[in-house]
Amino acid sequence: MAAAEHFDVVVVGRSLAGLLTAALLARRKFRVLAIDCAGAPPLERPPLFGDTARLVMRVLDELGLQHDLRTRLEGPWKPVTVALPDRRFVLPADETARGRELGEVLSGRVDALLDVFGRIERYGPSLDPLLGGDVELPEVGWRARRAWNRAWEDVAAARLVERIRWTDDPLVRATLRALLRVAGHTDDAAGPMTVRTVRTLWHLTHGIVPMRGGRAGFARMVSEKFDVLGGQIDGRRSAEALQVRRKKVEALITADGKQIGADVVVLAGGQPDLARLWSDAPPFESVGGRRMGLRVAEGDRPVDLRDPCGWIPDDDGPAHLVRVSGDRVVVSWVGRGTPPMARLAPFARMHHAETQSVPYPVPGDDPLALLEHPIRGPLKNLLYVGEWIMPGLGLEGACFTAWHAAAAAERIGPRRRR
């Protein structure tokens, strides 16, 4: 095995949340390495929304990226397409236009719509005090959990959890299910409201921020800043395993056998990555999802289908996520059946690509109904960040997990500064 190289923090997974964590720690003068995980599965990529949240601005301000962000924003916010079995419509970002569109396509459901969207507007911003970065996430111990629960009780949205149902109207419920699928949620809109889904719909119904290059463009911006701050990105190697002793990560082993020492390891993913890297990891359960790539003949791109799109193929069927880019259409769904493509768009010539299985996170038992897994992992110096931890909140979730993981890394890890 190659000789070990030691870093204060190693971030495994160069996702947006991973790069933000790495950049924050590099800004705070730690020696940081960012590296990919070998064979990591493709993660869901919710839209990049939530840029106005206070914590997002704090993260970007510390990294000196607020101006860069503004220069990369393009044009008006993107609308969201909803495709139901018997109708298809686009939700504009403008509140007045959105209300007019919903009133026209869901005529006769005005009262149900006003009730649901009134709750979204009322409770959507209520998490700002918690998501502002001033409340520390609980780490280990009942005192931390009690402090978090007390802060949580002060949030107006807490009254929603498992108490209020979305709606009994099947058409409105299908619309909400499609919107949640656009944001990467597998939650059932027939069940009770959760804080996470309310917050997500609050962002989504206000539009999606178009950014030059999308999520990849934002990740490149953060990656460039990480490099300027003195961080290192190893693009040639990938993490293969964790060397663990006494419930602590001692080193990271790469696919080519190199050993990298680390005081703190951050997984920009979640327990599926942990299970791949560490043979004694606790089991992770996931529901089976599928993804199908379709190639559309040139000139046959559906003009009435905009990205992103939430699609309900049947009245009581599951919601699908549709991505449209040039001559390619990618459909993601939960389950093993094949969705009826003819119900989505009348393609004249369409070539099916291979269907692949993808994992989806399973909701945990966190009282917030917001975090899938805690930031602190089962090992003493292991941290989680990213969409497996806080799915469906886009940039806000990435900044939230990165901010708290960077603070936790400072508390539990290195004292050797650059």
Summarised one tens digit per residue, pLDDT across range 213-231 is 877 888 899 999 999 999 9
Domain ranges of the chain: 2-72+212-285+367-412
CATH code for the domain defined by 2-72+212-285+367-412: 3.50.50.60
What's the mean pLDDT in 305-323? 82
Q: To 5 degrees, how large is the angle CA 257–CA 263–CA 418?
A: 105
The yes-or-no verdict on residue 74 having pLDDT over 90 is: no
Residue, of 183 and 368, whose pLDDT is higher:
183
DSSP state of 341: G
What is d(CA 341, CA 326) in angstroms, rounded to the nearest whole number?
18
pLDDT digits (tens, 9 = 90+) for 334-370: 777 788 887 887 766 777 767 777 766 555 556 666 7
Q: Which residues contact 134 (CB under 8 A, 6 or more apart)?
A: none
What's the mean pLDDT in 153-162? 76
DSSP state of 156: G
Residue 61 contacts residue 379 (beta carbons within 8 Å): no
What's the mean pLDDT in 298-303? 72
Evaluate the CA torsion angle 277, 279, 281, 283 in order and state its sign: positive
Q: CA 174: distance to chain centroid? A: 22
What's the mean pLDDT in 206-213? 79
pTM score: 0.88
Q: What is the DSSP annotation of 72-137?
A: HB-SSPB-EEEEETTEEEEE-SSHHHHHHHHHHHTTT-HHHHHHHHHHHHHHGGGGHHHHTS-SPP
- Bridge-based pairing of strands 80-84 and 309-311 is parallel
The yes-or-no verdict on residue 315 having pLDDT over 90 is: no
Q: What integer best gives the mean pLDDT of the chain?
A: 82
The model's confidence at residue 242, banded by pLDDT at 50, 70 and 90, is: very high
